[in-house]
């Protein structure tokens, strides 16, 4: 069953299902998703890691410059881990532990993807919980007029002040009490011919059917929003300043809109802007690829103005009500995904792996721990991995195992002998 999203206009009565509700702002063209699932995954991983490495050269934020590069351990070691597939699709994962993370949702391609994935799951959980109690959801969008002369920092302050004016008003509080309304508020940004454009997406949560009340609620929101903007020297038109679209009832009725709501509200980190506009990460990609002064300046402005801005804000008590734990962005970014220990990489090895770290992740994820160690062995990179010799012998009984001759030699070598051999190798290399 496909759900309808009904658009509620602040100035005229609701007219039923709106055809535009089927289109998500910044929807990725179908052609861009050609290829197999894993090809898309690998391409996305390479893009994010490459962008983070190159970002370290131009960022104005020190923590971002160290993200994914510096070890948190005293000796500078980094751990390679592997998690076998446990989901329905049998997908596996691999990654590194012991690295500094910045936890920057707005400025780091890697941390942003990890944090946004968690936030999207939280939104899906919320919608499922609300549907189970027979509730209704609505997607509220609020915008403001802007031009190329506006500074991003001023736009952010105006947007935040106008939203506070809405949620602190007597009218909002009255509707919140009458309808049992909660919300999750997100901020999205793009840049185009008319400069920076900030707008709010808020997922409104109701315990029951609110169809009859939505027109009055929308009018109330528009009144408070426009007043809040004017107090900060901004304004909006009634045609574009407020937009409310209602999804009905149970989760199955929301159908394909669930992912659109979650994606749009939580920001869709690499999603395309529309009408020629660019998202901040598109500006970053252009800055890295073309090194244009204008793009570099725009990215620096974005880093400074977005610093400390929250991606999603939940109304008080909503997370507790739907049994979700409070967890901040930095904690999510720092989380070790766990998994099987594959190898411990000393500092000198990590320095050589770092420029191509995504290649080691892909090799390990695709072929498992043995493939990850074979990748390191093939490049003559030292690592510590103590395993029982009998277990190695069992592995070597498999038909045509990769690098069998090398693993056989390592299996016959005492761990202390191996460490001494590596110490001699690096002493010789430093002497030469």
**CA-closest candidate to residue 198, choices 253, 250, 252, 141:** 141
pLDDT at 32: 47
User: Looking at per-residue confidence, does 162 or 256 come out higher?
Assistant: 162
Tell me how far apart the alpha carbons of residues 282 and 188 are, in angstroms, rounded to a whole number.
13
Asked if pLDDT for residue 151 goes beyond 90, the answer is yes
Threshold 0.85, pTM exceeds: no
Burial of 418 (0-12, 13-18, 19+ CB in 10 A): middle
Q: Where are the domains of the chain?
A: 6-34+103-334, 348-431
For 348-352, 402-406, 428-432, which range has the lowest pLDDT when averaged over its residues?
A: 428-432
Q: What's the rounded mean pLDDT across residues 410-415?
A: 61
Q: List, for residues 92-147, the tens digit of each pLDDT value.
A: 889 999 999 999 989 999 998 888 888 888 988 998 899 899 998 888 999 999 99
Q: At 390, is the secondary structure helix, strand, or coil?
A: helix
Bridge partner residues of 136 (DSSP): 206
pLDDT at 163: 97
pLDDT at 12: 36
**CA-closest candidate to residue 21, choices 218, 266, 257, 238:** 257
Q: What's the rounded mean pLDDT across residues 297-306?
A: 96
Cα 121 to the center of its chain, rounded Å = 11
Tell me how far apart the alpha carbons of residues 161 and 155 are, in angstroms, rounded to a whole number.
10
Q: What's the rounded mean pLDDT across residues 372-401?
A: 66
For 21-35, 200-214, 332-346, 353-367, which range has the lowest pLDDT when averaged over its residues?
A: 21-35
Residues 6+ apart with CB under 8 A from 343: 79, 80, 372, 373, 376, 383, 384, 385
Tell me how far apart the alpha carbons of residues 404 and 392 are, in angstroms, rounded to a whole number.
10
Dihedrals phi, psi of 16, to nearest 5 degrees: 90, -160
Residues 6+ apart with CB under 8 A from 160: none
């Amino acid at each position: 069953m496909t759900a309808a999203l009904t658009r509620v206009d602040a100035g005229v009565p609701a007219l039923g299902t709106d055809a535009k509700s089927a289109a998500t702002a910044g929807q990725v063209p179908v052609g861009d998703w050609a290829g197999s699932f894993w090809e898309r995954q690998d391409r996305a991983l390479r893009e994010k890691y490459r962008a983070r490495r190159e970002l370290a050269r131009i960022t104005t934020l020190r923590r971002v410059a160290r993200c994914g590069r510096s070890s948190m351990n005293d000796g500078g070691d980094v751990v390679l881990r592997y998690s076998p597939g446990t989901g329905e699709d049998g997908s596996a994962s691999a990654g590194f532990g012991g690295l500094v993370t910045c936890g920057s949702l707005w400025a780091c391609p890697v941390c942003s993807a990890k944090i946004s994935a968690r936030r999207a799951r939280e939104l899906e959980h919320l919608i499922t919980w609300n549907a189970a109690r027979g509730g209704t959801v609505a997607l509220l969008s609020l915008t403001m007029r802007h031009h190329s002369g506006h500074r991003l920092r001023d736009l952010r302050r105006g947007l935040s002040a106008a939203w506070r004016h809405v949620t602190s008003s007597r009218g909002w509080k009255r509707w919140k009490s009458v309808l049992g309304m909660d919300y999750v508020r997100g901020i999205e940004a793009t840049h185009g011919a008319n400069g920076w454009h900030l707008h709010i997406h808020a997922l409104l949560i109701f315990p029951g059917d609110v169809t009859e009340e939505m027109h009055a609620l929308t009018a109330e929101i528009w009144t408070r929003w426009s007043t809040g903007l004017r107090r900060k020297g901004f304004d909006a038109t009634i045609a574009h300043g407020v937009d409310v679209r209602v999804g009905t009832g149970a989760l199955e009725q929301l159908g394909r809109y669930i992912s659109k709501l979650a994606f749009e509200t939580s920001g869709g980190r690499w999603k395309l802007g529309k009408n020629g506009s660019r998202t901040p990460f598109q500006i970053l990609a252009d800055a890295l690829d073309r090194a244009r002064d204008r793009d570099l300046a725009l990215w620096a402005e974005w880093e400074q103005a977005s610093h400390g801005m929250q991606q999603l804000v939940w109304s008080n008590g909503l997370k507790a009500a739907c049994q979700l734990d409070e967890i901040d962005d930095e904690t999510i970014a720092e989380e070790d995904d766990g998994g099987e220990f594959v190898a411990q990489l000393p500092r000198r090895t990590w320095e050589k792996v770092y420029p191509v770290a995504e290649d080691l992740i892909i090799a390990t994820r695709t072929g498992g721990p043995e493939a990850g160690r074979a990748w390191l062995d093939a490049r003559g990179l030292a690592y510590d991995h103590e395993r029982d010799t009998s277990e190695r012998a069992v592995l070597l009984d498999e038909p045509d195992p990769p690098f069998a001759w090398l693993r056989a030699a390592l299996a016959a070598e005492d761990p202390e002998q191996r460490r001494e051999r590596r110490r001699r190798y690096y002493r010789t290399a430093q002497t030469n």
